[in-house]
Amino acid sequence: MAIRTILADPMLRLLVAAVVLAAVLPIPAEQSDAAQGLANIGIFLLFLLNGMRVSRSEIGRGLLNWRFILPMVLWVFGAMALAGLGLSKLLAFGLPSLVAVGFLYLGVLPSTVQSATSYTTLANGNVGLSVISAALLNILGVFVSVPIFLLLGGTGEGGVGMETIERIALILLLPFVIGQLVQGWTKDWVVRNKQRVVWLDRLVIALAVYVAFSGAVEQGIWSTLDPAAWGMLGLGIAVFLALGNGGAWLASGALGLPRRDRIAFLFAGAQKSAAVGVPLATILFAREEAGFIVLPLLLYHFFQLVLAAPLASRLASPPHGDADGYSAPTTRS
């Protein structure tokens, strides 16, 4: 039942379709530059629209709730990044180096917005706080994920030079800043065309996955990863899910947050954004590297949703004796 519910998500269906299409019909090497250029144009539009949608007043409100936001930032970009670094080192002996470094890349990414908010809603958590915190994390992620990745030694097998940093600034940061500057004139248009904008987001992300995974297929990902490596990869994803979800719940409890805020902290703190991670990877890494590096992210993205569905259902009803909202759900979390 949970799997069928997850597969009803249009974004996830598009991601699966992009991976399958890349597996059976990858982009030929001679057309890769044109495909990457098209993907870059789509990513520019994606971050332009993100800048238009996130209001400055919403950002301000989120920053005022420092008791929640500051620990959330430290958790997502600190603790989760270090967890990713640790897993990348531990799994390096059993995985190709690019796949192993993908765990570090996964760790430094911000959380989702839509699914974190949706599952917070299903679990009767603090929805407003979830929306604001997830939006802020995504904005910060555009600025800090790459520096943290580089600081922790993650460059893949290639290098990340000034040219790459310039591409990130031009394709991600510049359109977001433009979107923030023009949102006063474009807000009504974005609201009127909300569904079209959402589908544009999905198609751009799916295109980025197709381009990245095509490169991995061209480089022989199926022959590079034997059954033992796939098992090691699955084990790494399971450990990261346990660290992300269990750690976020325990950290929010240690902070003494109310139950509804703890639920918002859990889903925003444990989930990772393919919407930021995949487009960023296609800019940050060479095409033949990107598909390997985003593989942990794609698997984590799927299984975080599989886990979140029953978890939200269990958290929806507080356990007995939790009327004040401060006790941990010891048998239900």
Q: Looking at residue 279, which CATH number applies to its domain?
A: 1.20.1530.20
Predicted local confidence at residue 95, as pLDDT: 92
Burial class (CB in 10 A: 0-12, 13-18, 19+), 86: middle
Q: How far apart are the C-alpha atoms of 281 and 125, rounded to whole Å?
A: 32
SS3 state at 154: coil
**Whole domain around residue 249: which residue ranges?**
2-23+32-314
Highest mean pLDDT range out of 253-262, 286-295, 324-333?
Answer: 253-262
Residue 44 or residue 322, greater confidence: 44
Long-range contacts of 320-326 (CB under 8 A, 24+ apart): 322/259, 325/258, 325/259, 325/260, 326/256, 326/258, 326/259
Phi, psi of 181 (to 5 degrees): -70, -30
Please indicate whether residue 319 or residue 243 has the higher confidence score (pLDDT): 243
Residue 286, number of CB atoms within 10 A of its CB = 16
Percent of the chain with pLDDT strictly greater than 90: 23
Q: Which two tokens stand for residue 197?
A: 């904008």
Measured CA to CA, the distance from residue 262 to residue 247 in angstroms comes to 12
- Residue 209 within a domain: yes
Run of H or E residues at 51 = helix 32-53
pLDDT for the residue 326? 36
How high does pLDDT run on average in the chain? 81
pLDDT in tens, 270-313: 999 887 888 888 888 887 788 899 899 988 988 888 788 788 88
CA nearest neighbour of 104 among 296, 287, 262, 257: 296
What is the pTM assigned to this prediction?
0.77
The predicted pLDDT at position 59 comes to 64
| pLDDT tier, 8 (very low <50, low <70, confident <90, very high otherwise) | low
Q: What is the pLDDT of residues 71-122, one digit of tens each?
A: 999 999 999 999 999 999 999 888 998 999 999 999 999 988 667 877 888 8
**If pLDDT is split at 50, 70 and 90, which confidence band does 62 have?**
low
**CA angle, residues 281, 284, 288, in degrees to nearest 5:** 70
Among residues 241, 247, 267, the alpha carbon closest in space to that of 127 is found at 267
Predicted pLDDT at 234:
94
164, pLDDT greater than 90? no
CA-to-CA distance for 96 and 295, rounded, in angstroms? 11
- Residue 109 falls inside a structural domain: yes
Amino acid at 32: S
Does the residue 332 lie in any domain?
Answer: no
pLDDT at 157 over 60: no
- pLDDT in the model for residue 331: 33
Place of tokens 């993650």: 154
Residue 95 Rama label (left phi>0; alpha psi -120 to 50; beta): beta
Q: Higher pLDDT residue, 141 or 321? A: 141
Is residue 319 in some structural domain? Answer: no
Residue at 203 is within a domain: yes
Is residue 57 a contact partner of residue 131, using CB atoms and an 8 Å limit? no
Round to whole Å and give the CA distance between 263 and 312.
Answer: 9
Across 144-158, 160-174, 239-253, the highest mean pLDDT is recorded for: 239-253
Domain count, the chain: 1
* 78: in domain: yes
The values of phi and psi at residue 110, to 5°, are: -75, 175
Instruction: Kindly state whether residue 333 falls inside one of the protein's structural domains.
Output: no
CB count within 10 Å of CB 164 equals 18
In a domain, 325, yes or no: no
